[in-house]
Chain A
Amino acid sequence: MRVKIALAEKGVAYESHEEDLFGGKSDLLLKSNPIYEKVPVLLDNGKPIVESNNIVYYIDDKYSPNPLLPSCAYARSRARFWADFIDKKVFEAGMGIWRSKGDELEVAKNDFIGILKKLEGAMGDKDYFGGDNFGYVDVIATAMTSWFHAYEVFGGFKVEQLCPKFGCWMKRCLKRESVLVSFQILKRSISVLSCLERCMALNRTGSVDSIALYTF
Chain B
Amino acid sequence: MAEIKLLGVSLSPFTHRVEWALKTKGVEYELIVEDTKNKSPLLLESNPIHKKIPVLIHNGKPICESMVIIEYIDETFEGPSILPKDPYERAIARFWAKFLDDKCLPTMGKALLGEGEEQEKAKEECVELLKILDNELKHKKFFGGDQIGFADIAANALAFWMGIIEEASGVIWVTSEKFPNYCAWRENYNNCSQVKEYLPSRDELFTHFQSRFHSAAAPK
Residues of A in contact with B (beta carbons under 8 Å apart): 35, 44, 47, 49-51, 54-55, 57-58, 61-62, 73-74, 76-77, 80-81, 84-85, 118
Contacts and interface: CB of A to CB of B under 8 A. Distances in A.
Looking at chain A's contact residues, the main secondary structure is helix
B98 A51 contact: yes
B117 to A, nearest CB: 19
Contact of A81 (B61, B68, B87, B95): B68
Nearest to A89: B49
A93 to B, nearest CB: 14
Given A51-B98, A61-B91, A76-B71, 14 more contacts: A35-B132, A44-B88, A49-B95, A54-B91, A54-B94, A57-B91, A57-B94, A62-B88, A73-B76, A74-B72, A76-B72, A76-B75, A77-B69, A77-B72
Contacts of B95: 49-51, 54
Contacts of B98: 51, 54
A44 B91 CA distance: 12
A72 to B, nearest CB: 9
A77 B91 contact: no
B72 A58 contact: no
B63 interface: yes
Contacts of A55: 91
A80 B68 contact: yes
Interface string B68-107: 1101100110000000000110111011001100000000
Nearest 10 pairs of A and B residues by beta carbon: A61-B87, A58-B91, A62-B87, A77-B72, A73-B75, A80-B68, A77-B63, A49-B91, A73-B76, A81-B68
A164 to B, nearest CB: 21
A55 B61 CA distance: 28
